[in-house]
Amino acid sequence: MFEKNTYVTRRARLAQEVGDGVLLFLGNQLVGMNYHDNEYPFRQDSSFLYFFGLDQAGLAAVIDIDNGEEVVFGDELTIDDIVWTGTMPSLKETARLVGVEKTEPLSALKKHLEGRKVRFLPPYRGDHQVWLQALLGLAPEAQAERVDVAFIKAVVGMRNHKTPEEVAAIEEAVDISTRMHLISYRMARPGVHEAEIAAAVLQEATCRPGCGLAFPTIATTHGQVLHNHGFIHTLREGDMFLLDAGAENPLHYAGDLSSSMPVGERFTERQELIYNLCLRSFYAAVDQLRPGNPYRNAHLAAAETIAEGMVDLGLMKGNPRDIAESGAYALVFPCGTGHMMGLDVHDMENLGEQYVGYADGMVKSKQFGFKSLRLARPLEPGFVFTVEPGIYFMPELIDYWKAEGRFKEFINYDKFEAWKDFGGLRNELDYLITEDGCRVLGTLRKPMTLEEVYSAKQA
């Protein structure tokens, strides 16, 4: 964990910003995979980590603003527990490390909340919904509309601005992530299984104490399928391989990178062409990264660059800016250019994209393509996010739009027929907004140019 003062200061600021009531934090619990005691790896709730730093299961906490009190609720180990877990520091001792003097058994939490103005964050796990029901008498379906917007906004306002110690933690995660990717460049060869590369990437993340994956790895020769977790294919000469993988550092800050590479020694001519177009769209987005400029402009710059390339290839027609603004670009780029990143790889997505990635008064589009833009708001110093435009030829989507005649003023559907077997690719890096611009995170360079890709394969 960070120094005690980090957590004390964060809680004090949160209490001041919300103003009154009792702020309730439910820590995560162990969850059974196929029976109770065969558990998924434990991952603490990120807001709980941010404000209380305690990385163990079965805790809750309150910041009682009205009474000026902070309490961590949890049960001390009994001798029955110790037989299985060994001796652990007491909750009292660990709570003190984050500046909380008062601990109580979990059973005391309900009484603490009775008759009080309780503010809570959106639950994203079934057991939290059941727990909230037991604590507050609110049925799960009634909880979404009772979440506390002032509480959410205060948490988002703080967590969206990374401090130097958080940036250092993220850079540690990004460096591990880069090492994971460098392995994939060396491994992607004809005859290798996707699963072998996924396993090697996992090994690189988990061989460091306290580290792990920040999200399930994508390691695929079918990059056009955006979230492809199957690992069922064998790499063949002529394929492209896409890796989207990232590590968590021991404090659970994330890195998130993507790489695209040829399986053989070099891309084909057509693959090189699309790779370079994707790279140009990447740097067109990066050119827009500075305080005050909405990230939506970075997305539009990437979309316009891709549209230009599509026009040059005869796949699209018209003015690239119009293709970008109309949403027609989404045929080959159906997702957003990037997302906030921090303790969660999609930072605070559980609190609501509207609050995290959009400023007050900005409305998130419902249109295909734009609706997947998780980050659009004007950028501020301390924001950390990804940049990951991609180009994807998805036969199902091409056929679907073609049948509808969607955007036929911009799209030469007949030309697309020859590209349906192309696949998809992207690169992804992580950026920090500084006082006067931006900087890429991490001290190691991930291959980006064709020359770098080819030499990483030889390394």
Q: Write out the residues near Mn ion by the rule CB under 5 A.
A: 256, 386
Give the 3-state secondary structure of the chain.
CCCHHHHHHHHHHHHHHHCCCEEEEECCCCCEEEECCEECCCCCCHHHHHHHCCCCCCCEEEEECCCCEEEEECCCCCHHHHHHHCCCCCHHHHHHHCCCCEEECHHHHHHHHCCCCEEECCCCCHHHHHHHHHHHCCCHHHHHHHCCHHHHHHHHHHHCCCCHHHHHHHHHHHHHHHHHHHHHHHHCCCCCEHHHHHHHHHHHHHCCCCCEECCCCEEECCCCCCCCCCCCCECCCCCEEEEEECEECCCCCECCEEEEEECCCCCCHHHHHHHHHHHHHHHHHHCCCCCCCEHHHHHHHHHHHHHHHHHHCCCECCCHHHHHHHCHHHHCCCCCCCCECCCCCCCCHHHCHHHHHCCCCCCCCCCCCHHHCCCCCECCCCCEEEECCEEEECHHHHHHHHHHCCCCCCECHHHHHHHCCCEEEECEEEEEECCCCEEECCCCCCCCCHHHHHHHHHC
Name the minimum Å distance from CB 385 to Mn ion: 9
Shorter beta-carbon distance to Mn ion: residue 27 or 389:
389
Q: Which is nearer to Mn ion, 26 or 345 (CB)?
A: 345
Beta carbon of residue 375, minimum distance to Mn ion (angstroms, whole number):
11
Structure tokens at 394: 């998805």
CA distance 315 to 310: 5
From the CB of 183, what's the least distance to Mn ion, in Å?
A: 19
Q: How far is the CB of 339 from Mn ion (least distance, A)?
A: 6
Q: Measured from the CB atom, is 211 or 257 closer to Mn ion?
A: 257
- Report, in Å, the least distance between residue 235 CB and Mn ion: 23
Closer residue to Mn ion, CB minimum distance, 44 or 386: 386
- Whether residue 422 contacts residue 413, with contact meaning beta carbons closer than 8 Å, is answered with no
Minimum separation from the CB atom of position 391 to Mn ion (A): 16
Nearer to Mn ion, 260 or 326 (CB): 260
| Pairwise CA distance, residues 448 & 136, whole Å | 52
Q: How far is the CB of 68 from Mn ion (least distance, A)?
A: 40
State the nearest-atom distance from the C-beta of 299 to Mn ion, in Å: 14
Q: CB nearer to Mn ion: give 21 or 255.
A: 255
Nearer to Mn ion, 55 or 256 (CB): 256
Nearest one of 61, 58, 64 to 76, comparing CA atoms: 58
| Nearest residue (CB) to Mn ion, 204 versus 244 | 244
Min dist CB 247 to Mn ion, Å, is 13
Q: Which is nearer to Mn ion, 220 or 386 (CB)?
A: 386
* Residue 358 C-beta: closest distance to Mn ion, Å: 18
Comparing CB distances to Mn ion, the nearer of 128 and 159 is 159
CA pair distance 23, 119, nearest whole angstrom: 5
Q: Which of 179, 189, 191 is nearest to 266 (CA)?
A: 189
Both tokens of 453, joined, read 């890709």
Minimum Å gap between C-beta 427 and Mn ion is: 11
Instruction: Name which of 326 and 386 has its Cβ closer to Mn ion.
Output: 386
